[in-house]
Amino acid sequence: MKRAELAEHFIELNFEPQDACRWLSPSELRTFLASTLSMIFGNYADKRELQKVFDSNLITIPAEGEELAEGEDLWIDYTADVGDGFEATYTVAALLGQDTLRVDGYDGELPRGRMLVLGGDEVYPRANTKAYEDRTVGPYRSAMPWATPQPLMLALPGNHDWYDGLTAFLRLFTQDRTIGGWRTEQKRSYFTVQLPHRWWLVGLDSQLDAYFDDPQLKYFEETLTANLQPGDSVIVCAATPAWLKSSSGHPDAFNGLEWFERNFVTSRKVHGSDPEPTGAQVRLWLSGDKHHYMRYAEQLEPGEAPETARQMVTCGLGGAYLDTTHELAKELQLLPNASRNWREGDSEAKFVQQPATYPSIDESRAWVGRLGMPWRAEWIVRRNPGVFTVFAMAQFTFFLLLLLIFWQGIQAKNNGRIIDAYISASPEVLLRFTGGFLAVLLLAFAICLLPMLRRRPPLLPIKAMMLVLSQLGTACACFVGFGLLPSGIFGGLAAWFKFFIVIVGVSVVGGVIGAFFLGVWIVIYMSKGLTAWAMMGQAIEEGKGFLRIKLSPDGRLTIYPIVTEKLVREYDISPKMVLTSSGRFTKIAVPSEPLPTPRLIEQPYQVLPTSH
């Protein structure tokens, strides 16, 4: 059965499988409102300040009572931006849950990670208990209902997790619950994990890019900084890839992460004295938020081994719509001279974009235009049906306004019957009327542009004026077009029925054309702040994946970036019952087709520890 059929069995499954979010549909305006309210009230209701009453636990892998065999590798999984449409989320979770995984492009099998790190945005579009159950917990429980031993699941909150003030996130991930076969252990919205072979993994909660709260900083002082030794290596997981903005007109974008590295990893204060070096270093930065795979490697001096380079990796392929890669900087300078954090003598380290991305640069550039192509499945109306409704209502309103203005000018000639005045008007009258209307509109736009003569911004952004002009132009075209219909087709119909036929026709035709122009407008202005719109409107579900990371006994990290272009689309309901974390027994969804075989995005690459 398909997802929609599966959703009819939500009582048996104890969750309701959801379709992928349609981000440009009117219903998702609530998400933008939630985002705005979160940013306004976040600093006044910051639940991180309250977390100081929670336990301050240092997590260790392997867990207490477990140990690695001599020469055994430790495997870790990382994904982000999960909990969107059921098929994408389930497919990623099912691949993560396999005991071993065969991957095209690699000889051999990759064991399941002992730990799964969710790097942010664990649910879409807005966080609440039901959304987590339907979009995250339910799919992950069905994908791996049990496991022995249970791998650890750690979660970092992203902006969508913050939209309810972090309430549902803390209930789910910080109270020792199980999520399918995974167990949770963290006590706060951030964490420190001590790994074997002198590696550490850190998850930071920057609360909508605001700041690091005092309880969080004290936690890292106790669990991380105080324990670092010379030669230790650190992996930092951040909710957003701030490094992507550092070379695009935002010199302070990386300041928060750089400040954390400087004060909590590479140095520490002892009893109020001047900072002393720890001898540790961040070797790998991980983030999601951007729904693509992109890697930047530190630019090395000639002759240095590639494995000695620090890496910055974005991998937000866990479930949400696919994002672009072709407009990102080829080179990053994380701490430019214009940054407020820059100090004399600071390192001017540069990071260079690596050639393997997902989607590829060429695919990304080609895909953005599909939003404005009616013959494509990714067309804005097909992927966001609510957009048609909005523009149909807008064209309905525009038509009524034009009709009232038109009628007032010739009312006396038609005994006050508005529809007869309209459908009996000559082409010259209709064209003269709409031409005058558009001339007034263009004059108003010209007035809005006058400040540009004094090198000031226009009264209304040009891209906004273009969108308004396209919609009013569509309204005028519909007004003329339907007015030119032969009056004979209406026969002896009653006036109200004539009006009904015209208004429905205008709404349908105008809604389709208006939505088409919106798609074209987004694509044209994509490079001017609408990059995300061009892809979120398409809601591309395929192309999902994760990182599988191997920590070897010699301290080397090997990273396997994995993606699948195919999702599981057919399901059955298993008669076996599974115990949920709430104490209920429930059935689970199982695939009725083989799981797809994923592939490597690029060949595995290594990161050497600090001591090398």
Query: Is-cis flag, bond preceding 359, omega within 30?
Result: yes
Share of the chain above pLDDT 90, in %: 40
| pLDDT over 50 at 553, yes or no | yes
pLDDT at 464: 86
Could you read off the pLDDT of 352-410 as tens digits, one per residue?
A: 999 999 999 999 888 888 888 888 888 888 888 888 898 999 999 999 898 888 877 66
Residues 455 and 409 in one domain: yes
Of 216-220, 284-288, 484-488, which gets the smallest average pLDDT?
Answer: 484-488
- pLDDT for 233 beyond 50: yes
Max mean pLDDT among 325-339, 518-532, 593-607 falls in 593-607
**pLDDT of res. 54:** 62
Q: Are 268 and 226 in contact (CB under 8 A)?
A: yes
pLDDT for residue 112: 95
Lowest mean pLDDT among 166-180, 273-287, 401-415, 430-444: 401-415
Task: Classify residue 300 by burial, with Cβ atoms within 10 Å: 0-12, 13-18, 19+.
Answer: middle
Tokens 């982000």, residue? 80
User: For 415-441, what is the mean pLDDT?
Assistant: 81
Tell me: the pLDDT tens digits for 454-481?
Answer: 888 888 888 888 889 999 999 999 988 8
Q: What pLDDT score does 569 carry?
A: 93
Q: Is residue 16 part of a domain?
A: yes
DSSP per position, 396-414: HHHHHHHHHHHHHHHGGGG
The answer as to whether 583 is a domain residue is no
Beta partners for residue 314, in sequence order: 287, 294
User: Is residue 205 within 8 Å of 169, Cβ to Cβ?
Assistant: no
Give the domain range for residue 84.
3-367+541-572
Tell me: do 339 and 202 sit in the same domain: yes
Structure-token pair, residue 236: 């930092």
Considering the domain architecture, whether residues 362 and 402 belong to the same structural domain is answered as no
Q: Are residues 528 and 391 in the same domain?
A: yes
Three-state SS at 162: helix
DSSP per residue, 65-100: T--PPTTPPEEEEEE-S--SSHHHHHHHHHHHHSSE
Residues ≥6 apart with Cβ < 8 Å to 575: 587
Mean pLDDT of 96-117: 94
- Residues 518, 461 within the same domain: yes
pLDDT band at 412 (very low <50, low <70, confident <90, very high): very low
Q: Is residue 592 part of a domain?
A: no
- CATH number for the domain including 293? 3.60.21.10
- Are residues 552 and 531 part of one domain? no
389 and 362, same domain (yes or no): no
Total domain count for the chain? Answer: 2
Residue 204, pLDDT > 90, answer yes
Distance CA 174, CA 55 (A): 10
Q: Cα(138)–Cα(143) distance, rounded to whole angstroms?
A: 9
Residue range 588-606: average pLDDT?
Answer: 93
CA distances (Å), origin 38, targets 21, 123, 245: 20, 16, 22
Pairing of the two strands 585-591 and 115-118? unpaired
- How large a percentage of the chain has pLDDT more than 70? 89
Parallel, antiparallel, or unpaired for β 276-277 and 182-184? unpaired
* Higher pLDDT pick, 328 / 337: 328
Instruction: Say if residue 331 is in the same domain as residue 439.
Output: no
- Are 312 and 448 part of one and the same domain? no
Structural domain contains residue 373: no
- Say if 612 falls within a structural domain: no
| Segments in 229-333 forming alpha helices (H) | 255-260
End-to-end CA distance of the chain: 53
Q: What's the chain's average pLDDT?
A: 86
Q: How far is CA 329 from CA 62, 257, 284, 351, in A?
A: 38, 19, 19, 10
Band the pLDDT of 315: cuts 50, 70, 90: very high
- Residue 512 confidence (pLDDT): 92
Rounded-to-5 percentages of helix, strand, coil across the chain: 40, 20, 40
Q: Are 23 and 143 in contact (CB under 8 A)?
A: no
Whether residue 175 is contained in a domain is answered as yes
Whole-number pLDDT of residue 130: 92
Residues 273 and 415 in one domain: no
603 falls in which pLDDT band (50, 70, 90)?
very high
Beta bridge partners of 353: 296
> What's the rounded Cα separation, in Å, for the pair 394 and 296?
45
Average pLDDT over residues 526-539: 75
Q: Angle at Cα 365 formed by Cα 360 and Cα 371, nearest 5°?
A: 120
What pLDDT score was predicted for residue 371?
86
Report how far residue 73's alpha carbon sits from residue 68's, in angstroms, rounded to the nearest whole number: 8
Average pLDDT estimate for 45-50: 56
pLDDT at 319: 92
606 lies in some domain: no
* pLDDT value at 589 more than 50: yes
Stated pTM of the model = 0.88
129 part of a folded domain: yes
Does residue 416 carry a pLDDT above 70?
Answer: no
Confidence of residue 317 (pLDDT cuts 50, 70, 90): very high
Q: What is the mean pLDDT of residues 76-96?
A: 95
- pLDDT exceeds 60 at position 45: no
Joined tokens for residue 230: 């010379």
Q: Which pLDDT value is given to residue 552?
A: 94
Query: Is the domain of 141 the same as that of 249?
Result: yes
Residues 199 and 309 in one domain: yes
pLDDT at 612: 52
For 309-332, what is the mean pLDDT?
91
302-313 average pLDDT score? 87
Mean pLDDT of 252-258: 82
Tokens of 398: 């525009």
